[in-house]
Amino acid sequence: MYRSRSSSQNSNNKFRGNNRNSNSNSAGSFSSSRSGRSGGNSGGNNGGRIGGRSGGNFRRGGNRGRIQGSFNPSMLIKNAEVDAGLNPEINVYVPKNKFADFVISEALKQNVLDRGYEIPTPIQDQIIPLILDGRDVVGLARTGTGKTAAFLIPLINQVYNQRDIRVLILAPTRELAVQIDSEFKLFAKNLSIYSALCIGGANMNQQISALRRNPQFVIGTPGRLIDLEKRRIFKFSSFSTIVLDEVDQMFDMGFINDMKYVIENLPEQRHSLFFSATLPSKMTEITNSFLRNPVKIQVESQKASTNVSQDIIRVQGRSKIDLLHDLLDQEGFDKVLVFGRTKHGLNKLSQILNERGVRVAAIHGNKSQSQRQRALKQFKGEAVQVLLATDIASRGLDIDNVTHVINYDLPQTYEDYIHRIGRTGRANKTGIALSFVD
């Protein structure tokens, strides 16, 4: 039970985060609701429809012309509750391997075990043997399922055994590319296998110097990699292995032409790996041109983790900033990721929270790469309590022990909602996701 301290509310106000019998018509309560049972006319009837206050409000703007609406999670919360309760043993995967069983070099195996890896996740268990065998693969799984290690471990092993192999890894965001590179360095420790990180917002001359040392792995975002290739710093044709990670997000961010350009300039004979949370029909052209007789592994459907307790908070005309501040002042809100829609809105929210004494950092597209990395480091190290983010942070980032995800602004789609709340409840821990609903 979370206790409110809002000056605009009665001192006895409460947010009943998990009380299904909360009365949403109570004048002073933080109106929360599971499955839209309370406050029927204040948003619960929208169910899972796209649309904000009127159930169908769309506007165009930002994100390269993508149509923006909002996803009301009320019905999803009900479904997640039912799914978790009907059969708690559904979709339980029993791994066939242990990391000690994989046919990889002993030095690499030791690095893996040193990281505490013992039992592979479902996607790791199924895909690592396929990559070791040289098969093209399509890996479909939501974030937080261990996809990065699933391709890094076998690819590092291949390079360890055959030093002339070069690997190109494309990621949609700078943050994800940095994370992949960081994980690579841990797995490749003392193996004399090196990487170059090529992302926008960072010093290009340093990246050129790193590329000229001819590293076996090049990891980066499409725009910067194409810029470097057009400067003739390297050639895409020199890579025998290519990884496209979070492909559905690359589509959403408008990188379709960049991906086509890269694929057209790859060598005909190559090892191709494709990872995505979803595989909509619009990706068919890319998969057909990129992959050769691939094995498709889908380990998990797009649904909310049963480790995440979901709830909604009905705003009902009150100040969202005051409601958020009240939540952050409650016990247990120790490491909170807050999602907003616009850069301007997050900057304003950050300023107000800072003025109120909340330790907060923010990441969005207008921040420089060094600012974004500093904010992430502060949040990971718990130097700040709150990280404010646009959806740029909703995929791929691996941040331990996030206690709460708060959707200050509703996401555009069901998939965005799932990716956002997937930042908590990771590694068999539990978390809480709260969404502000008008």
Residue length of the chain:
438
Q: Enter the tokens of residue 333.
A: 């809100």
What is residue 156's predicted lDDT score, i.e. its pLDDT?
A: 98
Write the pLDDT tens digit of every residue in 350-373: 999 999 999 999 988 777 778 888
Instruction: Report the DSSP pairing between strands 360-363 and 386-389.
Output: parallel
What is residue 300's predicted lDDT score, i.e. its pLDDT?
A: 60
State how far the alpha carbon of 225 is from the alpha carbons of 8, 112, 117, 212, 380, in Å. Answer: 52, 29, 32, 14, 28
Q: Helix (H, G, I), strand (E, B), or coil: what is residue 146?
A: coil
Alpha helices in 98-252 (DSSP H): 106-114, 122-132, 147-161, 174-187, 204-212, 222-230, 247-252
Q: What is the DSSP string of 312-362?
A: EEE-TTS-HHHHHHHHHTSTT--SEEEE-S-HHHHHHHHHHHHHTT--EEE
Domain residue extents for the chain: 2-86+305-437, 99-298
What is residue 219's predicted lDDT score, i.e. its pLDDT?
A: 98
Q: Which CATH number fits domain 99-298: 3.40.50.300, 3.40.50.1240, 3.40.50.2000, 3.40.47.10?
A: 3.40.50.300
- Which of 222, 174, 115, 218 has the alpha carbon at shortest distance from 374? 174
- Which of 46, 54, 53, 39 has the alpha carbon at shortest distance from 73? 46
Name the stretches of the chain with pLDDT < 50: 1-68, 78-90, 302
User: Which CATH superfamily, name and number, covers 2-86+305-437?
Assistant: P-loop containing nucleotide triphosphate hydrolases (3.40.50.300)
What is residue 5's predicted lDDT score, i.e. its pLDDT?
A: 40
2-86+305-437 matches 99-298 in fold = yes
Cβ-contact 126, 133 below 8 angstroms: no
Q: Enter the tokens of residue 140.
A: 């479909």
Cβ-contact 131, 157 below 8 angstroms: no
- Which of 410, 360, 437 has the alpha carbon at shortest distance from 30? 437
Provide the whole-model pTM: 0.64
Query: In this structure, which long-range contacts are made by residues 101-106, counting pairs with CB atoms below 8 Å and at least 24 apart in sequence?
Result: 102/128, 102/129, 102/132, 102/153, 102/154, 103/132, 104/132, 104/153, 104/154, 104/157, 105/157, 105/160, 105/161, 105/191
Write the pLDDT tens digit of every residue in 314-349: 998 899 999 999 999 999 999 999 999 888 899 999
- Which of 24, 46, 28, 72 has the alpha carbon at shortest distance from 436? 72
What's the rounded Cα separation, in Å, for the pair 232 and 211?
11
What is residue 304's predicted lDDT score, i.e. its pLDDT?
A: 60
